[in-house]
Structure 1
Amino acid sequence: MVLHIPTLQLVCVFVFCLMGLLSIHAWLRETRERSLAYLGSMMLLAAAGMLLTGLRGLGIDVVPLVLANVLLLLSAGMNWTAMRVFAGRLPHLPGLFAGAALWLLLCLVPAFYGSMSTRVSVYSALVTAYGVLTALEFWRSRRQLEVAYVPALLLTLLHTAFYAVRAFADKGLAFDNALSGSGQGVSFFSLMLFEAMLYVIGIAYVTLAMVKERAELRFKAAAFSDALTGVGNRRAFMTRGERSLLDSQRRGAGAALLLCDLDHFKRLNDTYGHQTGDQALIAFGQLALANLRPQDVFGRIGGEEFACLLPETDERQAVQVAERLRRGFSELAMLEPGLLSVSIGVVTTQDVGHDLSRLLSEADQALYTAKGKGRNRVQTRLRERCASSLC
């Protein structure tokens, strides 16, 4: 089958333009994802470069040989930058322009400019280098991405491998061979055009999929996070808490629940203002997180009410944790000593079983008892522990 290279190049230009404009459109709808802007720019630069390569044989070889390849190398740099930005890193401008700058310098050397095979090898090596850098961005950030990055990594590795092979195997395509669709270099050049279209379509799709997945994770995190304190909200606490209790019950392990309520919170707001009240809530949230283990479940479940579920914890250990929270909160230097305090109700699964709703109900009764006995106390189902100044 005779392949008409100019037609294939024109198809490439249209595909690159279409995918580039769609990526730019997606970025305009989700402006936080700057990687889409770089990705769209990559495709549009590739379209321009591919269009200029079709100007061979018109007596202006400096355009297809120099300017076209500069644009194509800038496109490869943009591809690397897009994935770098997606991974949360800043663009590296010297690296972005290094390939194009090196090409311009080499084109000043007559031996390089006059050798098609050398130009093909150097261009392919530069694209390979950008591909390696792109793959390294994925690998370096694999633990932080939290999205399915493997398809993008595989596409990048295949794209990189193709140009690594081309650097040694392809000697270039003569202009007459390109017009006739036969002769040395036609098959490899045609394969390169097909590979370029498949890569652009594939990387656009998987990048949009990663962006969508990350947006969904952000929305999910926002839905499960308390906007003021940054800790889990009631929904997050109930979801994680029930899962933790099921796991504890399956393993035959116990757990404890701490229900914490900041004392005289309305009076604090009325006297010092709501900003001070908000600071007190934030401070307690930070204090609790600093004193809890990674496997503990913590959240703000009401206005000034927080809950902590401590797996593999008995009553004695739970009371120790509660006392640390109570003392730590009362010793904060936000206000005058004695103005900040918290009452805490403590129950365990040994007392009421592994039902979260019942644990909360029983802890609420213990908390109510602590409030009735003067506040600033840790109260279990059977006994209370209070600040030494109040005992």
Structure 2
Amino acid sequence: MALHIPTLLVVSVFVFLLMGLLTLHAWYRETRERPLAYLGCMMLLAALGMLLVSWRGKGVDFIPIVIGNVILLLSAGLNWTAMRVFVGRAPSVPGIVGGAIIWLTLCLIPAFYNAMPARVVAYSLLAFGYGLLTAMELWRSRKSLDVAYTPALLLTLWHTAFYGIRSLIDEGLPLDQSRSGVGDGAHFFSFMLFESMLYVIGIAYMTLAMVKERAERKFKAAALTDPLTGIGNRRAFLQQAEQLLTLGKRRTETAALLLCDLDHFKRLNDTFGHPAGDQALIAFSRVMSNQLRKGDAFGRIGGEEFACLLTGADEQVAVQVAERIREAFSELTILGAGVLSVSIGVVTTRESGYELSRLLSEADEALYGAKDRGRNRVQTLRKLYLSLTDS
């Protein structure tokens, strides 16, 4: 079936224009993510470039051959930049304009300017290079990207491979074929226009999806993170602890809960000021992070109160961990020697079961037992009950 090339060019211009405006709208109204801004500008430049390239046979060949292709190569540079910025790297101005400068330099050579096959090969290789750079940005950052990047990577590789193939088999579209829509050159050019439209639509959707997914992850992380200490907040601790207890109950593994409360915290704030109190909270969270294992759950669940759930730990192990935390914190001299201390209540699932609310309640009872006995100590609920019975 013969395709009307001028009609396809008009359609592609409007598709690029529409997608560019919608992408910029998404950037301005929703996220203000810079990758969307670069991507939107890429599509608008692509629309302008396609419009200028379509001016063939109008007596101004300098416009489609030089200016049109320069703008299209700048568009390809912005496409690469959008992915580069998305993965956290700074834009490269030399990289953006490099392809356009190479094209302008080549066009100064009459033999190149007057040879369509040479121009097709050169442009295709430059577009192939930008596509390869774009794919490399996603691939090199794959381990740090917490989003589904694979569809965007595969689409980019397909787009890149297309221009690699074009550099090998396409000799250009003569003017008579562009008007008639007949011939191998016309068929390939028509397919290239379709491919370009599909790529623009696909990469816009996928980039927006990746930006949205990353924003949602950031919001979720913020909702589960204590803003002062950077560790999990009460909600995060409860969620993780519930999951660990459910798993431990299924495996019949013992777990221990440590409830920690910084001693004389109000007096510390009154004496040294609230910034010093914040400093103490941050220091204690670091002590906990250093003393606990990766699989343990811990977080700040109140003002100066912290909790941690040790998986696969009996009372003896839990007390050893609690003592290490207590000693490490009491040895800190950020506010002076002997100023900081913490009391810790310890319970295990062996005595208290796997219900988190009960563990917290009984750990709180053990904690107050530690407070009553002079603070700066570790107190287990079992020994607290024994001491009460003996008395």
TM-score (norm 2): 0.96
Matched, 1:258 2:268: no
Distance 1:60 1:310 in 2: 76
Distance 2:160 2:49 in 1: 19
Counterpart AA for 2:240 = R
- Gap regions ≥5 residues in structure 1: 385-391
Between 128-137 and 42-51, report the one with greater CA deviation. 128-137
1:15 is aligned to 15
Structure 1 residue aligned with 2:115: 115
Mapped partners of 2:257, 2:184: distance in 1? 76
> Cα distance, 1:30 vs. partner?
4.1
Contact 2:333-2:339 within 8 A present in 1 as well: no
Note the 1:169-208 alignment, pairs <5 A. Answer: 169-208=169-208
SS of the residue corresponding to residue 308 of structure 1 reads strand
Residues 1:92 and 2:92 aligned together: yes
Q: How is 1:309-348 mapped onto 2 (pairs within 5 angstroms)?
A: 309-348=309-348
* Structure 1 CA distance for aligned equivalents of residues 250 and 112 of structure 2: 71
* CA distance in structure 2 between the aligned counterparts of 1:77 and 1:250, rounded to whole angstroms: 54
SS at the partner of 1:177? helix
- In structure 1, the partner of 2:234 is 234
Residues of 2 paired with 1:138 and 1:250: CA distance? Answer: 40
Shift of 1:217: 0.6
Task: Please tell me whether the aligned partners of residues 258 and 346 of structure 2 are also in contact (alpha carbons under 8 angstroms).
Answer: yes
- Secondary structure of 1:383's counterpart equals helix
The alignment status of 1:161 with 2:161, answered yes or no, reads: yes
**Residue deviations 1:12-31 (CA, integer Å, cap 9, x gap):** 11111111111111111345
| 2:72 counterpart of 1:72 | yes
Counterparts in 2 of 1:227 and 1:337: CA distance versus 1, 3 Å: same
User: Which amino acid in structure 1 is aligned with residue 350 of structure 2?
Assistant: Q
The aligned counterpart of 2:218 is 218
Does the alignment pair 1:143 with 2:154?
A: no
Describe the SS at the equivalent of 2:55. coil
Aligned to 2:388: none
Q: Describe the superposition over 1:31-63 as per-residue Cα deviations: whole angstroms up to 9, x where unpaired.
A: 551110111111111111101001111221111
The amino acid across from 2:52 in the alignment is: L
Distance in 1, Cα, partners of 2:362 & 2:97: 65
* Letter paired with 1:18: L
Structure 2 unaligned blocks of 5 or more? 385-391
Task: Specify the alignment match of 1:6 in structure 2.
Answer: 6
Q: How far did residue 273 of structure 1 move?
A: 1.5
Contact 2:346-2:378 at 8 Å conserved across structures: yes
Letter aligned with residue 339 of structure 1? V
Q: How far apart, CA to CA, are the structure 1 residues paired with 2:29 and 2:274?
A: 36
How far 1:351 sits from its partner (Å)? 1.6
Seen in structure 2, the aligned counterparts of structure 1 residues 143 and 110 have a Cα distance that, compared at 3 Å, is same
* 1:286 aligned partner: 286
- CA distance in structure 2 between the aligned counterparts of 1:328 and 1:138, rounded to whole angstroms: 42
- Structure 1 Cα separation of the partners of residues 61 and 88 of structure 2: 40
Q: CA offset at residue 102 of structure 1?
A: 0.9
**TM-score under structure 1 length normalisation:** 0.96
Q: What SS is found at the alignment partner of 1:143?
A: coil
Partner of 1:369: 369
314-323 or 255-264, larger mean C-alpha shift: 314-323
Instruction: After superposition, give the CA deviation of every residue in 1:267-291 in whole Å (9 maximum; x if it has no partner).
Output: 1112222111111111111121122
- Structure 1 CA distance, aligned partners of 2:202 and 2:37? 17
* Residue correspondence of structure 1 range 18-97 to structure 2 within 5 A: 18-30=18-30, 32-97=32-97
C-alpha distance in structure 2 between counterparts of 1:233 and 1:31, whole Å = 26
Identity %: 67
CA drift of 1:2 comes to 2.6
Deviation at 1:353, TM superposition (A): 1.6
CA distance in 2, matches of 1:336, 1:147: 45
Distance 1:360 1:221 in 2: 24
**2:254, 2:131 → 1: CA distance?**
52
Q: Give the drift of 1:377.
A: 0.5
**Aligned counterpart, 2:134:** 134
After superposition, what is the alpha-carbon deviation per residue over 1:111-138, rounded to whole angstroms, capped at 9, x for unaligned?
2111111111111111111111111111
How many pairs are equivalent?
A: 384
Supply the distance in 2 between the matched residues of 1:146 and 1:117 (Cα, whole angstroms).
Answer: 43
SS at match of 2:253: coil
2:22 match: secondary structure = helix
Q: How far apart, in 2, do the equivalents of 1:313 and 1:109 lie?
A: 76
- 1:389 alignment partner in structure 2: none
AA aligned to 1:309 is: L
Runs of 4+ in 1 over 3 A off after TM superposition: none
Q: Distance in 2 between matches of 1:83 and 1:308?
A: 40
Map of 1:387 onto structure 2: none
Q: Aligned partners of 2:106, 2:306: CA distance in 1, in Å?
A: 66
Partner of 2:298: 298
Higher mean alpha-carbon deviation, 242-251 vs 195-204, is at 242-251
Q: Letter of the 1:40 partner, please give it.
A: G
In angstroms, what is the RMSD of aligned CA positions?
1.2
More displaced 10-residue stretch of structure 1: 301-310 or 102-111:
102-111
Question: How many angstroms apart in 1 are the aligned matches of 2:18 and 2:286?
Answer: 49
Could you say which residue in structure 2 is the equivalent of 1:152? Answer: 152
* Residue 329 of structure 1, CA deviation: 1.2
